[in-house]
Chain A
Amino acid sequence: MADTTQFDLVSPERRLASAQVVSVQIPGADGDMTAMAGHAPTITTLRPGLLTAEGPDGTTQYVVTGGFAEITATGVSVLAERAMPRDEVSADVHAELVKEAEEAHAKAKEVFVNEPGPVDDAAKLLADMVAVGDHIGL
């Protein structure tokens, strides 16, 4: 039996999960990372993606859209701007998320004409958002 660690997933509107888990796979801004008990204290920002928590009683997956994760000696807290259990993300919900990202991208292109930075960020956000759909098989 592997060691477990405390895992909390909160969004501004509700607390989605609080449980003992074996590992949490976090979609970090610089790439996915898996946190287990005894992980070095880390703070990372999230990209839109799939968060997988593997507990003793099975695996749960959540779709998160951004925010950050804090890994400490006592546990993993994920503060997601928007988080939903995977089952709740239907094609409609996903389409809406993609549309929002598209709008943000279009707006960034308009506002920052000669600055590639924000436009690229928005493009990445959009690509990530689309990739989420592929991941959960919509």
Chain B
Amino acid sequence: MPSLKDLKNRIESVKSTRKITKAMQMVAAAKLRRAQEAAEQSRPYTERFNAVMAGLAASVGGSDSAPKLLSGTGSDQVQLLIVMTSERGLCGGFNSNIAKLARTHATKLMAEGKEVKILTVGKKGRDQMKRDYGQYYIGHVDLTEVKRIGYTDAQSIAKDVLGRFDAGEFDVATLFYSKFVNVVSQIPTAQQIIPASFEAEEGDEASTLFDYEPSEEAILADLLPRGVATQIFAGLLENGASEQGARMSAMDNATRNAGEMIDKLTIEFNRSRQAVITNELIEIISGAEAL
């Protein structure tokens, strides 16, 4: 049986924990709004971009001269997994879910006899992936210093990836990130970015005959590397929103748990205090009766 003093200390410490988790939850909520806005802002660009690329890819894709970024290297032996996670923890299962998906993917590929290489973005994913797949790990992009993710960050990651592709280090690249659905649900997603696949949207777009300046091929060659950057950027933003969403619900849970714990401890504290009082009374009464 803990003493009254011990109980009091514990209640105080849980209370301050609750204060911290509550504050973190509110910070995450504010950041989530910003992250969602950023994701929203980038959507028109991504959508238009993909629509145009789909049209271009459909008209050029079939020919032999199609760029490697679109048609692939003709092999899928070496697979690059780009695992994007957060820089900070305390966001529930967010990082583990992405890492788990990447791990399942990697295991499957290895069972098929493929070679796997892993590039991580975000400290938390690096720690997890390095532990299990240290020997396949080829690099890490550090975004710890980045406060607000900008397109230039995505560009520098894309440049790194494209450099490796041009050097023939891999054939297929897949991006792992978490898609933001709402605060309580984020879906870990795998998306193949090299060779590029664009979902062609059915509609009047495809039927319009465009003039191309310079040529179709030149535009495609110019835009494909940008497409990689755009997809990475979209992934980063989705991930940012998901991270804050996950943190918000994790911290909400933590705050609630702390509240329950405080209630339980307070009851215990009151009971023991009452027990002490009752004990003292019994002693006084039996002392008085003995006289």
Contact = CB atoms under 8 A, between A and B. Distances in A.
Interface stretch (B40-48, B181-189, B246-254, B264-272): B40-48
A55 B94 CA distance: 47
Interface stretch (B61-69, B105-113, B213-221): B213-221
A42 B222 contact: no
Nearest to A82: B151
B230 interface: yes
A77 B46 CA distance: 12
Given A8-B44, A45-B222, A81-B151, A13 B38 contact: yes
Contact of B42 (A12, A42, A68, A70): A12
B135 interface: no
Interface string A10-34: 1111110000000000001110010
B213 A44 contact: yes
Interface stretch (B5-13, B15-23, B116-124, B203-211): B203-211
A84 to B, nearest CB: 13
B52 interface: yes
Contact of A45 (B150, B218, B230): B218
Interface residues of A, number: 26
Contacts of B214: 29-30, 44-45
A104 B48 CA distance: 27
Interface of B: 38, 41-42, 44-46, 48-49, 52, 56, 150-151, 154, 208-214, 218-219, 222-223, 226, 230, 233
Q: Which 7 A-B pairs have the closest CB atoms?
A: A44-B213, A42-B211, A12-B151, A10-B45, A14-B41, A41-B210, A10-B44
Given A13-B150, A30-B214, 20 more contacts: A12-B45, A12-B46, A12-B230, A12-B233, A13-B41, A28-B213, A29-B214, A41-B211, A42-B213, A43-B52, A43-B56, A43-B219, A44-B212, A45-B218, A67-B226, A70-B48, A79-B45, A79-B49, A81-B151, A82-B151
